[in-house]
Chains A and B, each alone.
Chain A
């Protein structure tokens, strides 16, 4: 069990640029989740996948946000035309199917200049 891996750990970009983050879940986990955490707050659910199917995306913050998990393994989260308000920690988690605990990665911290 190597844990959930996220890359990069820190991304600094200018407003208006597109950014993409990657998450590699624990290998036997078929569920993958994305959360956003702003300063001083608890994480906020964005979307989740079961294998390659994105089963919930209504919580994505705007149409600038999109996520994929094309082969049911790693996932990417893309933010287009970044805005100052997108500055946050983006966390990925994975779990086995059913009511199993979610295991979190260390996150990608996004800073918008």
Chain B
């Protein structure tokens, strides 16, 4: 069965410093992996998607993630945090038992950005 584990429930950074949000996945097959962001009382916005075309995936708002099969990781990074990046971030894998239609979400990482 597929699953994702977000290793930190809360990450705090200062504005202008790098961001690292960690995610490990478990999958019997080559997975489709995603990062979504959720601002308070809003729906989820897709940041980026990995589907085996390239191991380094660039997303919106300066975020990127690297797929590392040997480490079963898909960590999200950004070189310089903005105040507007403060939100909840979810690492997500496609559920192959549902023909890849359903998404399986991690528990989320809350990113706080201080000035």
Contact = CB atoms under 8 A, between A and B. Distances in A.
B46 A103 contact: yes
Contacts of B36: 104
B101 interface: yes
Interface in A74-113: 91, 93, 99, 101-107, 109
B103 A102 contact: yes
B104 A45 contact: yes
Interface in B11-50: 32, 34, 36, 41-46, 49
B34 A42 contact: no
Interface residues of B, number: 25
Give the contact-size bracket for chain A: 20 to 34
Contact of B94 (A4, A99, A107): A99
B67 to A, nearest CB: 15
B41 A106 contact: yes
Interface of A: 4, 6, 31, 33, 35, 40-45, 48, 55-56, 59, 91, 93, 99, 101-107, 109
Interface of B: 32, 34, 36, 41-46, 49, 51, 90, 92, 94-95, 98, 100-108
23 contacts: A40-B107, A42-B105, A43-B44, A43-B90, A45-B95, A45-B98, A45-B104, A48-B101, A48-B102, A91-B44, A99-B51, A99-B100, A101-B34, A101-B49, A102-B46, A102-B103, A104-B36, A104-B43, A104-B44, A104-B45, A106-B42, A106-B43, A109-B41
Given A42-B107, A45-B104, 15 more contacts: A6-B43, A33-B102, A33-B103, A35-B103, A43-B90, A43-B103, A48-B98, A48-B101, A48-B102, A56-B98, A56-B101, A91-B44, A102-B103, A103-B46, A106-B43
